[in-house]
Chains A and B, each alone.
Chain A
């Protein structure tokens, strides 16, 4: 999570204690355990950790003055010898030299939601050429807590899901209940609920109804996917198709597809209904492309991006847009959240692809390879000059345990995984930047935190 700390200095040299402001940022972001990285965005502003005692700060100022006194004949101040000197350029060679003695970077540890600082330690931004408007960049990483409000919102969705499943006929409710109760990350409903808090018409109960309907819709698509992919397990339990046969799986998927679209329609917001209907259509169309691509497995990056844009990212985008629309958010906010959702959904799918190569994920390594599921690491490995030929040869034949294991080894050795990780993180950064340009009523940290958590399996 990124942020900028803005402040104005009032003296030529000034020790600005920013400890409390950083502490506030940690609290606001809900960072429980991790680090705050700080970077001065100026060449005459340093960072330092020391004691905030006025006489000591005066001593530091005197020390800097002795080591790099102002007006001591710095070549930087000889404007006649420099090119393209702005009219308002100050004679500040001493300030640059003083900054060299300090640091432009600092990292503070965070434990149990608070900065790890000794009794006398404070964090200072050190002005060396003030007075000026200054900015320090912050990045927070680590384990973020869920706020009480987030916990309550999640409980509302679980309650709504349970309520909906309670009234359905057992032959369809029972398999869906098993799938829903098995867990899942609930990212789409969380996005609905968070974005539904943005506009003036925020209503947590309606948002929970919409969020639950979106989760049912997502699960309905999974039930059909599992039949198409011949998957035997999902979330650690047998799939509906594996446990009860494809006929039941098709019926259960259809029932919840219809029920979810009805619940969405009954919310009574045409924009919401249309956004989700378009997304569902994109999901289904991309599923057809996905299966068609298996003929030229593993395919190429462009085709991959096109498929996951529809198959995964479209529902993320629609979840974000529909929550915002429900709350009556401004059109520019809805659009920005849609773009945020596309980038997040794409990054999420890339992170999900990487899990297939992680022995610690709890899933069997190479399951996607065995089922010839679209996977970006595999595409990159197949394009690799060293391992590519062997990967392509193995994928062209029958995939038994030995072949799947060897392909997974080659992918891991190829450098494809760090490449995908980097790409996913870049998409998350871009997603969070989409949030910068619009007014989100204080929800930016929560959305950014959710975006980071969506790919934290690959960090």
Chain B
């Protein structure tokens, strides 16, 4: 991923990159190969931010302390904005549904669904 893109999209979240976000990002790269070259890193980063955001918030587990929750919220919002600007509508909808699935399970006290798997499937959504 380009340094410029990282600088811009990791504003306020720089610490997360070395704290596991880099590996999470890498785990989505093979799921974005069917997109235009220039949007591939943006969509992989969007997925990574959403996965990291949900983890930081403690969704489905113990609630994060307030400041950590806010970082998680920013991850979700930035991931969502990256999708809005770069992903086809079907992918945007699939991502939102993945978060809806994970959060409604958490609210019901049910076991969390495999989020990475849901997000990887979302990247392949076509309708």
Contact = CB atoms under 8 A, between A and B. Distances in A.
B77 A262 contact: no
Question: Which residue among A224, A276, A277 has the maximum number of chain B CB atoms within 10 Å of its CB?
Answer: A277
B108 A265 contact: no
Contacts of B99: 254-255, 257-258
A173 to B, nearest CB: 9
Interface string B73-93: 110111011011100010011
Contacts of A280: 77, 80-81
Nearest to B63: A246
A254 B59 contact: yes
A247 interface: yes
Given A251-B103, A251-B104, A259 B77 contact: no
B77 A283 contact: yes
A304 interface: no
A265 B107 contact: no
Contact of B93 (A172, A245, A265): A265
| Chief secondary structure at chain A's binding surface | helix
B70 A254 contact: no
B53 to A, nearest CB: 9
B40 interface: no
B106 interface: yes
- Interface size bucket, B side? 35 or more
A43 interface: no
A258 B58 contact: no
A247 B106 contact: yes
Contacts of A273: 84, 92
- Interface size bucket, A side? 35 or more
A20 interface: no
A255 B73 contact: no
B88 to A, nearest CB: 10
B89 A171 contact: no
Contacts of A319: none
Contacts of B102: 254
A258 B107 CA distance: 14
Given A247-B58, A251-B59, A255-B103, A288 B74 contact: yes
Interface in A154-206: 168-169, 171-172
B34 interface: no
B89 A268 contact: yes
Interface in A267-298: 268, 270, 273-274, 276-278, 280-281, 283-285, 287-288, 291
A203 to B, nearest CB: 19
Contact of B76 (A168, A257, A259): A257
Interface in B98-119: 98-100, 102-104, 106-109
Contacts of A230: 66
Contacts of B80: 257, 261, 277, 280-281
Contact of A262 (B54, B96, B103): B96
Question: Which residue among A250, A270, A288, A291 has the maximum number of chain B CB atoms within 10 Å of its CB?
Answer: A250
Contacts of B58: 247, 250
A224 B73 contact: yes
Question: Which residue among A251, A257, A273, A278 has the maximum number of chain B CB atoms within 10 Å of its CB?
Answer: A251
B41 interface: no
A261 B66 CA distance: 23
A248 interface: yes
Interface string B44-71: 0000000000100111111110110111
Contact of B69 (A169, A228, A285): A228
A265 B96 contact: yes
Given A171-B104, A227-B66, A291-B66, A277 B85 contact: yes
Given A258-B99, A262-B100, A251 B12 contact: no
Contact of A287 (B57, B70, B109): B70
A266 interface: yes
A449 to B, nearest CB: 32
Given A254-B59, A259-B96, A224 B69 contact: yes
A369 interface: no
A342 interface: no
A241 to B, nearest CB: 9
B85 A258 contact: no
A431 to B, nearest CB: 26
A266 B96 CA distance: 11
A169 to B, nearest CB: 5
B81 A288 contact: no
Given A265-B84, A273-B84, A280-B80, A252 B92 contact: no
A285 B83 CA distance: 18
Given A169-B108, A291-B66, A255 B100 contact: yes
Interface of A: 168-169, 171-172, 224, 227-228, 230, 245-252, 254-255, 257-259, 261-262, 265-266, 268, 270, 273-274, 276-278, 280-281, 283-285, 287-288, 291
Interface of B: 12, 54, 57-64, 66-67, 69-71, 73-74, 76-78, 80-81, 83-85, 89, 92-93, 95-100, 102-104, 106-109
13 contacts: A169-B108, A230-B66, A250-B69, A251-B59, A251-B60, A251-B107, A254-B103, A255-B100, A255-B107, A258-B96, A258-B98, A265-B92, A284-B74
Closest 8 CB pairs of A and B: A262-B96, A258-B99, A246-B63, A171-B107, A277-B84, A251-B107, A277-B81, A254-B103
